[in-house]
Copies of this chain bind each other. A is one copy, B any other.
Amino acid sequence: MKSDEFIVGVDVGGTKILSVVVNNEFEIVSRCRKKTKGWVKDTNPENKIIQTIEESVEQAGNPKIVGIGIGAPGPVDPKNGIVINTPNLGWENFPIADILSKHFAVPVVLDNDVNLGTYAEWLLGKNKEAKHVVGVFPGTGIGGGLIVNRKIVHGASGGAGEVGHITLQIDGPLCGCGKRGCLEALASRIAITREIAALILRGESTYLTDKVGTDVSKIRSSVIADAIDHGEKKVEDIVRKAAYLTGVAIANLINIMSPELVILGGGLIEALGKIYQEEIQRAVKEHAMPFLRKKVSIEIGKLGDDAVALGAALLCAKKNDKL
């Protein structure tokens, strides 16, 4: 990429669209974020995406845009730029890359959001020489991204990397996906909140009862972190258990994929990174094969909410041979 060339990276989610414009060093020069609950059910949902992109480009001073990258939840067909299916967005076989490419007259690449988050944390992190990378992003769900031989893995369905649905407990609690004992059912923020709700109802967390009462929707990652800082040991135990189980799933990924790099990201990690690091390291020690785990570095992502949009921009640059 030349110094007068810019790329747009877009992160499309169920309740927000984030568009960033990056320069040839992948620094963000402008950012437009729209909270748009319900927009995906519009007749032409692409209009909101186009509007967000246009605003971010305007904010950047209308530079020369040489490509657009876009990240969306759910399985994708990256070759044809089609979102196959997103329960969150309600799209099916939505040819978003083609639509945007016609509108903006530049190349558009598409990939899954978690894949792109992993991609950005890898290539913009200190371990970009790694060839095999696993990204794990615990939050409301638990997403995963896989890189093998420096390429994103999509698998036959376009939806490889369903790390949250690794079975860890065969007769375990029901998961949102309908199966039992998935990592997500045991260790997502919803699973953690479920356990904390019981603490509150039993009167075992004074701090949280004071802070959120019995409104479980208020138990955000930051509130959980505050409770632990205030010495709530039972809350800490719940988080440690979830982090450990996330670590067992990561150990399984290490046994299967043998990566050099595991990247952790997402809201829970940002708020509770130290506990997650400790418990994941413990679980990996107990459940990954020694000759596989000694090759692995486990790192916390640094890009926060920009990771997906930056990954989209990076992938676009790579596909355009501009990286």
By beta carbon, the residue of chain B nearest A149 is: B151
Stretch at the interface among A8-16, A153-161, A214-222: A153-161
Q: Which of B151, B153, B259, B289 contacts A177 (CB 8 A)?
A: B289
Contacts of A251 in B (CB 8 A): 167
**CB proximity to B under 8 Å, residues A31-67:** none
Q: Are B153 and A257 in contact (CB under 8 A)?
A: yes
Q: Are B286 and A162 in contact (CB under 8 A)?
A: no
Q: Are B160 and A256 in contact (CB under 8 A)?
A: yes
* Cβ distance A85 to chain B, nearest Cβ, rounded Å: 7
Given the known A-B contacts A132-B156, A165-B255, are A180 and B286 also in contact in the complex, defined by CB atoms under 8 Å?
A: yes
Stretch at the interface among A202-210, A290-298, A307-315: A290-298
Given the known A-B contacts A160-B256, A163-B256, A258-B154, are A248 and B170 also in contact in the complex, defined by CB atoms under 8 Å?
A: yes
Does A168 count as interface, using CB distance less than 8 angstroms? yes
Chain A window 124-162, contacts with chain B (Cβ cutoff 8 Å), 1 for yes, 0 for no:
000000111000000000001010110101111111111
In addition to A132-B160, A167-B255, A253-B256, 18 A-B residue pairs with Cβ atoms within 8 Å of each other are A132-B155, A148-B149, A155-B258, A156-B296, A159-B291, A161-B256, A162-B255, A163-B256, A165-B289, A166-B255, A166-B256, A167-B252, A169-B170, A170-B248, A178-B290, A180-B286, A180-B287, A181-B287
* Cβ distance A157 to chain B, nearest Cβ, rounded Å: 5
By beta carbon, the residue of chain B nearest A258 is: B155
Give CA–CA (A259, B154) in the complex, Å. 9
Q: Which of B149, B167, B256, B295 contacts A287 (CB 8 A)?
A: B167
Does A179 count as interface, using CB distance less than 8 angstroms? yes
Does A260 count as interface, using CB distance less than 8 angstroms? yes
Q: Would you list the 7 A-B pairs with minimal beta carbon distance, nearest first?
A: A155-B258, A160-B258, A156-B260, A162-B255, A156-B295, A167-B287, A157-B258
Q: Which of B162, B180, B245 contacts A289 (CB 8 A)?
A: B162
15 residue pairs of the A-B complex, CB under 8 angstroms, read A85-B291, A146-B257, A149-B153, A156-B260, A157-B258, A157-B292, A160-B256, A160-B258, A161-B256, A162-B289, A163-B256, A165-B255, A167-B168, A179-B287, A180-B287
Question: Taking chain A's interface residues, is the majority helix, strand, or loop, or is none over half, making it mixed?
Answer: loop
Give CA–CA (A255, B132) in the complex, Å. 18
Chain A window 267-300, contacts with chain B (Cβ cutoff 8 Å), 1 for yes, 0 for no:
0000000000000000000110111101110000
Does A75 count as interface, using CB distance less than 8 angstroms? yes
* Cβ distance A200 to chain B, nearest Cβ, rounded Å: 27
Contacts of A75 in B (CB 8 A): 291
Q: Are A153 and B157 in contact (CB under 8 A)?
A: no
Q: Are B259 and A156 in contact (CB under 8 A)?
A: yes
Q: Are B166 and A291 in contact (CB under 8 A)?
A: no
* Cβ distance A237 to chain B, nearest Cβ, rounded Å: 16
Q: Which of B132, B146, B290, B295 contacts A256 (CB 8 A)?
A: B146
Contacts of A287 in B (CB 8 A): 167, 170, 179-181
Contacts of A179 in B (CB 8 A): 286-287, 289
